[in-house]
Structure 1
Amino acid sequence: MAKIGIYGSSFDPITNVHLFTASTVASRCRLEKVIFLPCSSKRKDKKMNTDDEHRWNMLTMALEEEREREIVADSFEMEQDPWKITTYETMKHFKGQYPNDDVYFIMGADLLVDIGSGKWSNGEKLVEENKFIVMARDNIDMLRTISHSPILRNNDDGTTFHLIDKGLAMEISSSYIREEFSNGGEPKYLLPNSCYYYIKEHGLYED
């Protein structure tokens, strides 16, 4: 039985921190595969700064450089109706793709807070039926977050949450890189080389 991690984000753009995070989580949690899952630009609850084609192209270019572990991209959510798909349906899809494996949703502690406070559609079913790898964010106390949320606490069987509390809370974000491009900065070494030149070529994130 293998262990598969689903890493969802906008990847707008993908950064070296995303790659570092995926590699580190795979190593610490003994994952055989990490699947990068970009969300759709059609979502009404989250504004994208580039369309799906550009984000997908940059993601696949970045992962072509990854050789040490099986880290791949999947366009599943990009292809779905954004009003009919939630993380619950996404995880159901991937568990169907890997019926003999353990499938984990990789997320930051900030999302754990959101799920625990009832902000996610199908949040209780999501926690009840799935497993999660949760990375430290913004000094959030992950154990306290779980213990103070009925949704998280009452659906935790002891193996639901794998908490990673050291070494992954890094400040460089996609939004910071977008701001650097917009302000004429030079974020070349914060994202994969191929993606940097792709952004320059297509004039992405310009003010």
Structure 2
Amino acid sequence: MGKVGIFGSSFDPITDSHLFLAKTLADLCNFEYVIFVPCVSSRGDGKKMKASDEDRWNMIQLAIKDNPIFKADDFEMNAKAGIGKQYTYHTMEYFKEKYPDDEHYFIMGADILAEIDNQSVQPHQRWKFREELIKNNKFVVMSRDNIDMLKEISKSPILRKYHDGTRFHLVDKGISMEISSSYIRDEISMGRYPQYLMRDDVYDYIVTNEIYKHTTN
């Protein structure tokens, strides 16, 4: 049985920070591989991607091609999965079915941990299938924005209920996404090309296809 990290994000575009984070967590958590899972453009939360699904998928392929521990899966982009209806619970169930002999960990930041069962909003505004998700999966949670991860767990009845010492692998070594995708998009939209914040092939793809050239964050 191998340990697998499931790394979901918009990857709009994928940056060197995404790759650094994935490799660092693979080393820390002994992941056999990390799977990049780009979300679909028409997300249920209303957030719209600046690049098309096809372009984001192509950029991921270019970024990870030289590292054998990196994989990508288009489950959440696939219309057969139900555009706009995917939830993290279903994504994790998909990977457990696809790789039944592996142990799966969902990678997220402390800010996402705080959102799952946020007690300050109405229940219908919290994550769908949140208890099923927490009950049936394991997580790698990265420190972010000075959020106290243990405090966030203690504030949520659901997170607290399943916090048994193995559910959440809390990483407090200062790993963060210092290069934001939105920063890259903003720079390109203003005619500046931040070449050294992403793989050369990704940079060339963006320039050649004029992605983000006329977009704003």
- TM-score, normalised to structure 1, is 0.95
Residue among 145, 159, 164 paired with 1:138? 145
Query: Helix, strand or coil: the match of 1:154?
Result: helix
* Count of aligned pairs: 205
Amino acid at match of 2:11: F
Residue among 181, 200, 204 paired with 1:197? 204
CA shift for structure 1 position 157: 2.1
Do 2:89 and 2:129's aligned partners in 1 also have CA atoms closer than 8 Å? Answer: yes
Do 2:40 and 2:84's aligned partners in 1 also have CA atoms closer than 8 Å? Answer: no
CA shift for structure 1 position 148: 1.3
User: Which residue is 2:175 aligned to?
Assistant: 168
Do 1:128 and 1:156's aligned partners in 2 also have CA atoms closer than 8 Å? Answer: no
Do 1:116 and 1:145's aligned partners in 2 also have CA atoms closer than 8 Å? Answer: no
User: Which residue is 1:33 aligned to?
Assistant: 33
Consecutive unaligned residues of structure 1, counting only runs of 5 or more, are none
Question: Cα deviation per residue 1:18-76 (whole Å; 9 max; x = unaligned)?
Answer: 00000000000000010000011122422100110000000001111325xx1111111
User: Which residue is 2:191 aligned to?
Assistant: 184
Amino acid at match of 1:157: D
Query: Helix, strand or coil: the match of 1:195?
Result: helix
- Identity across matched positions, percent: 55
Alpha-carbon separation, structure 1, partners of 2:138 and 2:24: 18
1:72 aligns with 2:79: no
User: Which residue is 1:82 aligned to?
Assistant: 83
Question: Cα deviation per residue 1:150-191 (whole Å; 9 max; x = unaligned)?
Answer: 121112222000011113124211011111111122311101
User: Which residue is 1:2 aligned to?
Assistant: 2
Alpha-carbon separation, structure 2, partners of 1:130 and 1:172: 29
User: Which residue is 1:94 aligned to?
Assistant: 95
Amino acid at match of 1:190: L
Amino acid at match of 2:93: K
User: Which residue is 1:109 aligned to?
Assistant: 110
Amino acid at match of 1:187: P
Question: Cα deviation per residue 1:103-154 (whole Å; 9 max; x = unaligned)?
Answer: 0101111110111316211111101110000111111111111111112111
- TM-score, normalised to structure 2, is 0.91
Amino acid at match of 2:109: G
Consecutive unaligned residues of structure 2, counting only runs of 5 or more, are none
Do 2:42 and 2:84's aligned partners in 1 also have CA atoms closer than 8 Å? Answer: no
User: Which residue is 1:59 aligned to?
Assistant: 60
Q: Which runs of 4+ in 1 moved over 4 A?
A: none
Distance 1:7 1:170, change over 3 A: closer
Alpha-carbon separation, structure 2, partners of 1:99 and 1:57: 27
User: Which residue is 1:121 aligned to?
Assistant: 128
- Say what the alpha-carbon RMSD is for the aligned residues: 1.2
